Structure 1
Amino acid sequence: MAAPLLPGNALRLLESGGEFFPALCAALNAARYEIHLESYIYNRDDSGILVTNALLAAAARGVSVRVIVDAFGGRDFAHDTMPVLLNGGVEVLLYNREFGITAGRQRLRRLHRKLAVIDRQNAFIGGINIIDDMHTPNQIPPRIDYSVLIRGPLAGMVWQAASELWERLCWTNFRRPPSLVHLPVSAPLPVGDQYAALVLRDNFRHRNDIEGAYLAALQRARREMIIANAYFLPGRRFRNALVDAARRGVTVTLLLQGRMEYWLLRHGCRALYPHLMQAGVRIVEYRKSFLHAKVAVMDDDWATVGSSNIDPFSLLVAREANVVVRDAAFAAQLRASLTRAMVDGGVELTPDEWRRRPLAERLAGWVALTLVRILVGMSGYARSARQREG
């Protein structure tokens, strides 16, 4: 079911940590009543310490501060930062402490969304973890990533989603959930003229919403679709939508990670290149630094920014949160940023060059893709993926 587009929002695109962390800390420092923060990774580095200090200061002045970090992504957080926050009056929960491919489907489910909402009035959604993106060994920083600062009615939707998850986790952790703060402020009023929707992915009511938003955009595209994604390993239905759009004349561009981070995902993704390029899909690998973005822009007035990659982890297992925006100015800003990244650090691949790559590299792609399919099958999600794809 498509998430409704809400009018009356004021949105600000934030590029990488250099813009995100000052905006987040300013909002945390101005909080008067309540803070919700969720992250997959929470590191104790320069940026993490800034956020931690802002959370502690808010708690010290009486703000109700609640933090959820994924137990797998935040393995270090549980030991080096969580005790500090708890001692300072911050309420903290870890999401799903058990994990492992052989441990059953439930243990594979992760909290991958990155969001914050302050006093119900200001919210952040994107792909940026609480981690300093200026410390990228052997690369030119920063990582390429995005978040959105939201004011207006959509901030109220983010607050609702964060509050619901907090209450649910309190019950599943056998903790009586404290009464939610009765904020002495009304639901956010319209403050701008931008339309936007909150699109979630979970294992209950919103299993396919984020993928559905991408597929609907690809079907509507008439001129251009740019997708920038860190971990790109889509299923058959998504690949067919890319090919169909390219064949009807849409300029489809994929901006993908060009540096080795995870062997399986990198080579599995590259195994899909020949089919996509043959159909006319442009593939640009970003090689200057790490690409961690999960964004897209379509034609003149559609864009999405969020936490969801286009891979089995994000589309089948994890809790994710994206914002879909219908606004020409926002889409133009994101398109300009992605274009700069492609010009500054991207390498466009061609079918002829790709066919001349070494046999060992082609075999690596085949092996990686086969292993991914086996792992998805072992996890028990293969059947639901096949059913979704028809």
Structure 2
Amino acid sequence: MTAHSRLNPSFFRGVEPVSGNRLRLLQSGAEFFPALIAAIDAARDEIHLETYIFNADSSAAAVRDALIDAARRGVQVCVLIDGVGSRDLPTDWLDALKTAGASVRAYRPLVGNGWRSNPRSLRRLHRKLAVIDARIAFIGGMNLIDDFEPIPLAAPRLDYSVEVRGPLLVPVHRSVRHLWRLVAFTQLQGRGRTVAIEPSWPTDGHVRAAFVVRDNFAHRRDIERVYLAALALARDEIVIANAYFLPGHRFRKLLKKAAARGVPVHLLVQGHTDHLFFQAAARALYRDLLAAGVNIYEFKASELHAKVAVVDGHWATVGSSNIDPFSLLLAREANLVVDDAGFARDLRQRLQQALDQSVALDPADWQRRSWPRRMLSWLAYGGVRLMVGLAGAGRLI
């Protein structure tokens, strides 16, 4: 694997990375929840937390209790949950947070029959972000849900988040504050009290990284673009682990072109899934990718929820965005894109452990797959395309 001192700027495709950051990769709830709770416990001024799922379980309860304690000691606590993903959050949990002084807002709460009556309600808040005192942030794919919920498997859910300290806090902090104010405006709520606080960080960081978001305004294609640029420029290796993998034509074409020029391409996808319909749709694409030389592995040791990638041993991304039309065309997402060999090596080694626990799909078997199964997969794929079209997102990429 080639060691690059610094990547070609084209790998970031219009997104400007900043130097001087200190990053720590966190895997699954055993590493993520203690780090998040410790940061909340140390908060003195302000906490912003965004999540798609806030589940009523023991791991999420520990975060809830830490937020309540912070609010009681005078910290401004702002919790933004998604109106679909967190729709089952118990009323007594919400009341306890609000009684303590925390502010809780729901992004695009469902009205009536949800997306069936209004397909645009598929535009969700899928970001998983926390910013504490504008001095530490957590960016990744982990919701506030226990690793063994809702699928009680033998091993914890495979997912990642990154603890960030450094100048990258400036755009992250700006982003969470902006979205908080935007939701308040659209729901005709007051801005509430604000804390005058500026990001601060240690001076010993050395990692170059960029904060990349997807929204329906100025950053509609940013996450897609950095992925496509990395695939187009890859020379040594591509490793992608993605829970919901349903890329469009351009993405698939670049994967196949990379394999054709001799780049090993490893794709880790779900073996166990909580969305059988979506898995059936994704499998419509496997036959063609396998025939082109892309290696596909199904992770069956536990639930795969990761949205990460490593390219050429130096470029890496960790975030909330799946490689599917809902993430890339509809939802609000946030990814960290990193240019650092040490960080990429750490993530690559963890992914290798997952690959070793996975089942490699046999191209010959998929070429012989029965036509009824292929037809069901393509019908599911067409159903996904229809939903995306009704939601107003246009074509798949």
Q: TM-score range by the shorter chain?
A: over 0.9
Find the aligned partners of 1:147 and 1:380 in 2 and give their Cα distance: 30
1:262 to 269, 272, 275: 275
Find the aligned partners of 1:326 and 1:137 in 2 and give their Cα distance: 34
| Aligned residue runs from structure 1 range 1-390, under 5 A | 2-77=14-89, 79-98=91-110, 100-104=114-118, 106-135=120-149, 137-183=151-197, 187-188=200-201, 190-344=203-357, 346-382=358-394, 385=395, 389=397
Find the aligned partners of 1:267 and 1:341 in 2 and give their Cα distance: 22
Alpha-carbon shift at residue 347 of structure 1 (Å): 0.4
Alpha-carbon shift at residue 262 of structure 1 (Å): 1.0
Are the structure 2 counterparts of residues 288 and 70 from structure 1 closer, same or farther at C-alpha, using a change threshold of 3 Å?
Answer: same
One-letter amino acid matched to 1:166: W
Decide whether the 8 Å contact of 2:45 with 2:133 is kept in 1. yes
Alpha-carbon shift at residue 2 of structure 1 (Å): 2.3
Find the aligned partners of 1:179 and 1:267 in 2 and give their Cα distance: 48
Taking only aligned residues, the RMSD between alpha carbons, in angstroms, comes to 1.6
Find the aligned partners of 2:199 and 2:296 in 1 and give their Cα distance: 46
Find the aligned partners of 1:186 and 1:224 in 2 and give their Cα distance: 36
One-letter amino acid matched to 1:77: L
TM-score by length of 1: 0.95
Structure 1 consecutive aligned stretches of length 4 or more whose deviation exceeds 6 Å: none
Are the structure 2 counterparts of residues 225 and 181 from structure 1 closer, same or farther at C-alpha, using a change threshold of 3 Å?
Answer: same
The SS at the match of 2:194 is: coil
Find the aligned partners of 1:49 and 1:361 in 2 and give their Cα distance: 42
Q: Which residue of the partner structure matches residue 9 of structure 2?
A: none
Find the aligned partners of 1:362 and 1:272 in 2 and give their Cα distance: 10
Find the aligned partners of 1:138 and 1:360 in 2 and give their Cα distance: 31
Alpha-carbon shift at residue 260 of structure 1 (Å): 3.4
The SS at the match of 2:228 is: helix
One-letter amino acid matched to 1:45: D
Are the structure 2 counterparts of residues 95 and 135 from structure 1 closer, same or farther at C-alpha, using a change threshold of 3 Å?
Answer: closer
Find the aligned partners of 1:298 and 1:60 in 2 and give their Cα distance: 45
Alpha-carbon shift at residue 81 of structure 1 (Å): 2.0
One-letter amino acid matched to 2:297: V
Find the aligned partners of 2:90 and 2:81 in 1 and give their Cα distance: 9
Find the aligned partners of 2:338 and 2:271 in 1 and give their Cα distance: 27
One-letter amino acid matched to 1:163: R
Are the structure 2 counterparts of residues 106 and 362 from structure 1 closer, same or farther at C-alpha, using a change threshold of 3 Å?
Answer: closer
Alpha-carbon shift at residue 138 of structure 1 (Å): 4.8
Greater displacement, 238-247 / 116-125: 238-247
Decide whether the 8 Å contact of 1:153 with 1:190 is kept in 2. no
Find the aligned partners of 2:96 and 2:367 in 1 and give their Cα distance: 54
Find the aligned partners of 1:337 and 1:120 in 2 and give their Cα distance: 29
